[in-house]
């Protein structure tokens, strides 16, 4: 099975998300409209924040979720007021592009499958088994290695179709970092995060689609599929996260009210905005900073409702102070 673009899923995903992005936020009269491009993971919380806070702040927001790579390019090339990225951009690259990077919210990532007739709440896939699936070493759900770890489940004689992101995605880098590094967890709190770099999963057999919504749509309708995505998108499409192997060899189960720091969910990323620092753009960059500072300070409950994870207090306070300095410069 060769890796190929899943055309319908890609087109549907981009149309759905771009349409949603144009409708983000209310239409405050006389608003300053800001344009963002970037990671698809934070799109739902940006939409919720724009609806709640945009009218009172006099700011409108249009956010086009085309992936972390597109977000960094748009900010670097000054094609957007800010970019969104799920990967940490190296300081040297930020300096070259005259950008500031600010953590905004955290998101939990995991894996979802489509296995009719199987109680996936009981399915246990160890990290090495998931890696073997995405490397093409395990190709059917009835593989002896999967059955050995799931003696109570009747895993079917069904081909496995891995679903990966075709766009340059921070989620892809995070998932590959977890699978390939040999580490039991990839979390900012553990001092480990995915970094910007080469496109991950380039040799994975299966389907390549655009955006987190493309992954969710494909997994939801394709028997035997497995894909990686964030909790918020999984919930939106009615997909359950598989339990993930913890550092101690046990499994973490996502549940309502889950605290990934307390309960050691292995895959957590911070999503960031990157903002131009150029003096000519100071007014618009200050408006971006003012909007997101307000969201950081007052939008935690909305973020949690949308399936996101609040930043640790120290990180949130540092981000708010960084944004305040940008507001003052504008």
Kindly state whether residues 147 and 63 are assigned to the same domain: no
When divided into structural domains, the chain yields a total of: 2
Residue 300 near residue 310 (C-beta atoms within 8 A): yes
Is 3's pLDDT higher than 90?
A: no
Please state, for a pLDDT cut of 90, what percent of the chain lies above it. Answer: 58
Interatomic CA distance for residues 306 and 231, integer angstroms: 9
Q: What is the DSSP string of 68-120?
A: HHHHHHHHHTTSSSEEEESSBPPHHHHHHHTEEEEEEEEEEEEEEE--TTS-G
pLDDT value for 179: 86
Q: Do residues 35 and 161 both lie within one domain? A: no
Concatenated DSSP letters of 285-309? HHHHHHHHHHHHHH-HHHHHHTT-B
**How many residues are given for the chain?**
330
Q: Are residues 310 and 238 in the same domain?
A: no
In the listed set 247, 268, 289, which residue is the last one of a domain according to the structure?
268
Query: Are residue 128 and residue 241 in the same domain, yes or no?
Result: yes
Assess if residue 117 is contained within a domain: yes
Average pLDDT for 283-308: 93
pTM of the model: 0.77
pLDDT tens per residue, range 189-200: 443 444 444 456
d(CA 166, CA 103): 24
Domain end among 230, 249, 268: 268
| Mean pLDDT of the region 98-127 | 94
171 and 46 in a common domain: no
Contact in structure between 9 and 209 (CB atoms under 8 Å): yes
Q: Is residue 282 part of a domain?
A: yes
Residues 174 and 256 in one domain: yes
Contact between 278 and 118 under an 8 Å Cβ cutoff? The reply is: no
Q: Which residues of 283-303 are buried (b: 16+ CB within 10 A; e: fewer)?
A: ebbbbbbbbbbbbbeebbebb
Model confidence pLDDT, tens digit, residues 7-54: 333 333 333 333 333 344 445 556 899 999 999 889 999 999 999 999
Is pLDDT above 60 for 128? yes
pLDDT single digits (tens) 198-244? 456 767 788 999 889 999 999 999 999 999 999 889 988 999 889 99
Tell whether the model's pLDDT for residue 257 goes beyond 80. Answer: no
Contact assessment for residue 316 and residue 294, using Cβ atoms and an 8 Å cutoff? no
Are 223 and 121 part of one and the same domain? yes
Domain at 213, CATH number: 3.40.190.10
Same domain, yes or no, for 235 and 165? yes
Is residue 181 domain-shared with residue 99, that is, in the same domain? no
The answer to which of 1-10, 105-114, 131-140, 292-301 has the lowest mean pLDDT is 1-10
Ranges 28-37, 123-132, 273-282: which has the least confidence: 28-37
Residue 104's closest CA among 88, 81, 80? 88
At 177, the pLDDT band (50, 70, 90 cuts) reads: confident
If asked whether residues 88 and 204 sit together in one domain, one would say no
What rounded mean pLDDT belongs to the chain?
84
Average pLDDT (102-126) is 94
More confident residue, 280 or 53: 53
**pLDDT for position 326:** 94
Query: Which of 253, 268, 283 is the endpoint of a domain?
Result: 268
Domain that residue 214 falls in: 109-268
């Amino acid at each position: 099975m060769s890796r190929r673009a899943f055309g319908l899923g890609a087109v549907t995903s981009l149309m759905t998300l771009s349409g949603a992005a144009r409708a983000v936020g209310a239409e405050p009269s006389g608003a300053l409209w800001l344009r963002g491009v970037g990671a698809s993971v934070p799109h739902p919380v940006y939409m919720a924040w724009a609806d709640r806070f945009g009218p009172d702040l006099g700011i409108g927001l249009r956010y086009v979720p085309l992936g972390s790579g597109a977000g960094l390019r748009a900010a670097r090339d000054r094609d957007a007021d800010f970019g969104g990225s799920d990967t940490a951009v190296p300081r040297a690259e930020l300096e070259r592009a005259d950008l500031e990077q600010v953590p905004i919210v955290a998101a939990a990532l995991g894996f979802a499958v489509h296995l009719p007739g199987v109680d996936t709440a009981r399915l246990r896939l160890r990290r090495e088994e998931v890696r073997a699936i995405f490397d093409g070493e395990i190709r059917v759900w009835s593989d002896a290695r999967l059955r050995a770890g799931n003696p109570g489940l009747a895993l079917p004689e069904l081909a496995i179709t891995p679903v990966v992101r075709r766009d340059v995605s921070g989620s892809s880098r995070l998932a590959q970092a977890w699978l390939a590094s040999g580490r039991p967890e990839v979390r900012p709190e553990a001092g480990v995060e995915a970094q910007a770099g080469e496109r991950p999963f380039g040799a994975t057999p299966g389907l390549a689609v655009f955006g987190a919504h493309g992954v969710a749509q494909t997994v939801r309708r394709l028997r035997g599929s497995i894909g990686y995505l964030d909790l918020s998108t999984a919930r939106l499409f009615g997909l359950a996260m598989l339990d993930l192997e913890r550092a101690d060899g046990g499994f973490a189960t996502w549940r309502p009210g889950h605290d990934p720091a307390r309960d050691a969910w292995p895959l957590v990323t911070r999503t960031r905005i990157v903002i131009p620092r150029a003096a000519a753009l100071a007014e618009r960059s200050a408006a971006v900073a003012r909007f997101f500072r307000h969201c950081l300070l007052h939008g935690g409950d909305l973020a949690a409702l949308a399936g996101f994870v609040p930043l640790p207090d120290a990180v949130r306070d540092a981000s708010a102070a960084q944004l305040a300095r940008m507001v003052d410069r504008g």
